[in-house]
Amino acid sequence: MPLNPGYEEMLRQLDAVGGPALTGMPVEAGREMFRAMQTDASEIEVGTVRDIDAGGVPARVYRPDGSGPFPVVMMFHGGGWVIGDLDTADCQSREVCRGAGALVVSVDYRLAPEHRFPAAAEDSYSATLWAADNASVYDGDASSLAVAGDSAGGNLAAVVAQMARDRREPAIAFQLLVYPVTDGVNFDRASYRDNADGYLLTAEAMHWFWDHYAPTPDDRRHPYASPLLADDLSRLPPTLVMTAEYDPLRDEGEDYARALARAGVDARFVRYDGFIHGFFAHTRMIDATREAMSDACAALRVAFNAN
């Protein structure tokens, strides 16, 4: 399909503004730029929002209105493990809290290059363990626990699901993987070639992110960095993978869904034609992306009701 008109206009405006590419900036400047690109989501009202310590990992808890206990969604933000924070994930956290009727625990894992692989993965797993033990304090029901994230956050959600299986705790009911990073070794898929430049996330930026997070070949081959490369993908939670047509990460996300299904996991993917990378956070900017958010929240509700 053609690029969505809303995205055509967004990309036209960004091109008119100009400025250096992320890969040409100091890391801290890139983080500030990413924060500045986000829209204010405070109008998406939820019951309460609290910054907490999740077992040594900073986190933010979003509680819905109404009576609990509520199912729990662990939210891992995007940003290539290098940029992004609780504020940049605020919009999607609020949307999921409201749309899925869930207690959302957004995780502020350590960032690279100050903290390379596996710091982000271990922080994300530690916070999930904490939530399994402590969600009830915030009116959460950890017997219905899902992991979710977009981009690098989708990578971390997939990795946490593998860690939980391998380490035998906690039980995870569902994984929502939104345009996830799944493979740090193969950069020659068609979506990398076709969408290398011009659609917000570039192939060059993905190499930059990987170089900061997991610069060595051994680290990149580890399944907790590249979940698609795991020898065993069985016994993982039901999964929805969401991808964008104009995204370098499209094919590796869809490959992960197919690999999970081959391993006997209840897994599927949905490709959003005309969309670019980042649509999970664009519900305040691009009206068409609200359908994808609604689909994500509906999948979570179904998974929680089935649990």
**Catalytic residues, which ones?**
151, 247, 277
Question: What's the burial of 24, exposed, middle or buried (CB within 10 Å: 0-12/13-18/19+)?
Answer: exposed
Amino acid at 108: D
Question: What's the burial of 187, exposed, middle or buried (CB within 10 Å: 0-12/13-18/19+)?
Answer: middle
Question: What is the number of residues in the chain?
Answer: 307
Helices vs strands, H then E, count in the chain: 10, 8
Whole-angstrom distance, CA of residue 177 vs CA of residue 157: 7
> Read out DSSP for 123-137?
HHHHHHHHHHHHGGG
DSSP lists the bridge partners of residue 76 as 107, 149
Contact 71, 304 (CB under 8 A): yes
Q: Which position has the token pair 């109008």?
A: 43
The arrangement of strands across the sheet holding 70-76 comes to 48-53, 58-63, 103-107, 70-76, 140-150, 174-178, 239-246, 267-276
Contacts (Cβ under 8 Å, ≥6 apart) of 226: 182, 183, 184, 185, 220
Whole-angstrom distance, CA of residue 287 vs CA of residue 241: 21
- The answer for 258, left when phi > 0, alpha when psi is -120 to 50, beta otherwise, is alpha
